[in-house]
Each structure stands twice: as structure tokens, then as C-alpha cells.
Amino acid sequence: MEIDNEPNMLNLNDPVTIIGDIHGQFSDLLKILSHDNMIEIELNPSHKILFLGDYVDRGINSVEIVTLLICLKINYP
């Protein structure tokens, strides 16, 4: 999988979970990902997660955020 080949615009169908503006807050992202709706995502492979951006610019855990997002992309392309 090459990220460079991915489109800038996506057409996604329901169900979609949208997560935006994490700002390096790793513990907040873990809380979001641990909610019950994540169980639904595991059970329904057509369910998508869309991260909107602002991943690393304020919190102290920017490396952890990027690492987790890359791992999610690899495991759930």
C-alpha cells in the first residue's frame, strides 16, 4: 500500500465515524477509539473511520498519534 497513490477526495458511504482535530492528544484519541461504536466497526468491515487532520500540532504525544494512525492504516486499509 502506498499512501502517495491515495486520492485527495473520498466518496464514503454510511456507516462512517469522523474524528477531527486530535492536536497530539493521544489519551483523548484512545478514549475516542475505545467507545462502544468501535466494537461496531470491528463487526462491520464496511464501517469506515475518517480522520480530518490537525493530528500533531499542540499536544505532547505527536509521535504516538502518528504511529497509531499509521498502524491503523496498515491494519485497516
pLDDT (tens digit per residue) in 19-70:
889 899 999 888 888 876 566 666 677 778 888 888 888 878 989 999 998 8
Decide if pLDDT at 71 tops 80.
Answer: yes
pLDDT score for 41? 65
Distance CA 41, CA 53 (A): 20
pLDDT score for 14? 84
Query: Is pLDDT larger for residue 75 or for residue 61?
Result: 61
pLDDT score for 3? 72
Decide if pLDDT at 73 tops 70.
Answer: yes
**3 φ, ψ to 5°?**
-65, -30
